């Protein structure tokens, strides 16, 4: 058996992205087809984009393909845009209103930036 050139961190990132892709598809279906969900139907497009970009990133990063970094960045952009789109929908429910939601977006952006630095470095060096 040939040893993998994929670092453990990339493997774990891909496994997480794969689960998140599944969650994106299931959320898109739930928002679209379940009439009792208090989320606007247009939000299903964000969930679908989330699933598609996470799937692309998962597959390409698993292969250690440099295009995976672009897919990862696309997924991260969808996460940030989706977070901003959630503010008017959930401002009364989550994280202490608009201020808390904006803080969450900033925190998520910082984490995604750090993960992007790791992913892009590992894929660029192939180790």
pLDDT (tens digit per residue) in 37-54: 888 999 999 999 999 999
- Average pLDDT of the chain is 91
pLDDT at residue number 3: 54
CB 39 within 8 A of CB 85: no
Question: What 3-state class would DSSP assign to 93?
Answer: coil
pLDDT (tens digit per residue) in 57-87: 999 999 999 999 999 999 999 999 999 998 8
CB 74 within 8 A of CB 53: yes
Q: Which of 36, 61, 33, 60 lies closest to 48, judged by CA?
A: 33
- Taken in order 101, 104, 105, 106, is the CA torsion positive or negative? positive
Cα Dmax for the chain: 54
CB 26 within 8 A of CB 44: no
Q: Which of 44, 41, 75 lies closest to 58, judged by CA?
A: 75
pLDDT (tens digit per residue) in 92-102: 665 667 888 88
């Amino acid at each position: 058996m040939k040893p993998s050139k994929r670092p453990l961190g990339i493997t774990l990132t891909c496994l997480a992205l794969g689960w998140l892709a599944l969650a994106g598809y299931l959320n898109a279906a739930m928002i679209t087809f379940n009439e009792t969900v208090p989320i606007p139907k247009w939000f299903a497009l964000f969930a679908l984009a989330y699933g598609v970009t996470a799937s692309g990133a998962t597959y390409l990063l698993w292969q250690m393909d440099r295009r995976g970094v672009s897919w990862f960045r696309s997924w991260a952009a969808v996460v940030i845009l989706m977070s901003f789109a959630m503010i008017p929908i959930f401002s009364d429910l989550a994280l202490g209103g608009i201020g808390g939601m904006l803080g969450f977006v900033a925190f998520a952006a910082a984490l995604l930036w750090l993960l992007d630095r790791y992913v892009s470095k590992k894929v660029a060096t192939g180790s």
